[in-house]
Amino acid sequence: MPEHAPISNNKSPTDGANSTNVGESSSEEWDLIIRPHASLLTLQLGEVWRYRDLLYLFVRRDIVSFYKQTILGPLWFVIQPLMTTAIYVLVFGQIAGLSTDGLPQTLFYLCGITFWNYFADCFNKTSTVFRDNANLFGKVYFPRLITPLSIVAANLIRFAIQFSLFALVAGYYYWQGKASMQPTVLLFPILVANMAVLGLGLGMLFSALTTKYRDMMFAVQFGVQLLMYATPVIYPFSQIPERFRPLLAWNPLAPIFETARHGFLGAGSFSPLGLVYSITVATIVFVVATLIFNRVERTFMDTV
């Protein structure tokens, strides 16, 4: 009976772990030893890049599956801000009589809604990433950072569509001379990136907390709604009473919305120091969230 060839124990390195080749002197003759990463602050961006096809598939899934089997499909990207703007104009503009700094109410509210939707979607959907993907995480390895990044990227596509709608409406009022564009409009990429980092950081932070404390999910649901009223989305900063302005200045979202209105509508105020503060807070939140996210990632399957 012919002898079988020895089975090779050579294994390809597994993504997401550090590997060390062991020499022949090892007592058990292992070809590969898999160890966890030592640093909690490691973002594993190299692994994210290697799994970029999976990132694309997650983004596509979030876009396609969310509106699958709907009649209007992607048109909801446009209908939602239009309907919300109409309600805000009726309630806050006509009934409550809130000031819009002399801007057309439709344009004022649509600007705030467009930017707020992006931040709120990033925050809300990232905050439940562990719970929503628990079954997937327990079956196969991939960089866990892929899932929150896919949410931010998918929401960016929605934001691009809604921003295009806002640009069309703004162009109409530019033509009528009721609004104007300012040089601060060049800060637009920084504003979007800042919202993405802040929403991603807060979402990752609460996602890590909800694996152990489920009541945090309820805090996120109504907390985001309350945060909108503490942000100049439906009112301009100029209408805030003087005694409350120092309190609102602590909100890192306030400089983003005021800068956006100043750049695209020619109203509102622009504070370079306020924008620097907002970027600093977003960076700190993201670093802290990464630390906690990487720590919880190792053991969340035991508590989720």
Integer Cα distance of 294 and 158 in angstroms: 28
User: Which has the higher per-residue pLDDT, 19 or 240?
Assistant: 240
Instruction: Decide if 273 contacts 258 (C-beta within 8 A).
Output: no
Instruction: Give the pLDDT score at 42.
Output: 59
Predicted confidence band of residue 33 (pLDDT cuts 50, 70, 90): low
Instruction: Decide if 112 contacts 81 (C-beta within 8 A).
Output: no
Dump the DSSP string for 77-128: HHHHHHHHHHHHIIIIIIIS----TTS-HHHHHHHHHHHHHHHHHHHHHHTT
pTM score of the predicted model: 0.79
Instruction: Give the pLDDT score at 73.
Output: 64
Instruction: Decide if 205 contacts 289 (C-beta within 8 A).
Output: yes
Integer Cα distance of 290 and 143 in angstroms: 13
Dump the DSSP string for 149-190: HHHHHHHHHHHHHHHHHHHHHHHHHHHHTS----GGGGGHHH
Q: Which residues have C-beta within 8 Å of that of residue 185, sequence separation ≥ 6?
A: 263, 264
User: Which has the higher per-residue pLDDT, 248 or 5?
Assistant: 248
Integer Cα distance of 121 and 152 in angstroms: 8
Instruction: Decide if 203 contacts 125 (C-beta within 8 A).
Output: yes
Instruction: Give the pLDDT score at 299.
Output: 60
Domain ranges of the chain: 44-302
Tens of pLDDT, residues 44-64: 667 777 877 888 888 888 777
**CB-facing half-sphere around the CA of 163: CA atoms within 13 A:** 14
Give the Cβ contact number of residue 161 at 10 Å.
14
Predicted confidence band of residue 14 (pLDDT cuts 50, 70, 90): very low
Integer Cα distance of 30 and 22 in angstroms: 6
Highest mean pLDDT of the ranges 8-12, 202-206, 299-303:
202-206
Integer Cα distance of 173 and 104 in angstroms: 8
106 pLDDT higher than 50: yes
For CA atoms 253, 255, 256, 262, give the dihedral sign.
positive
DSSP 20: E
Nearest to 51 by CA among 137, 128, 126, 141: 141
Tens of pLDDT, residues 79-94: 889 999 999 999 998 9
13 pLDDT higher than 60: no
pLDDT, averaged across the chain: 80
> Which H helix or E strand runs over 198?
helix 188-210
Instruction: Decide if 291 contacts 42 (C-beta within 8 A).
Output: no
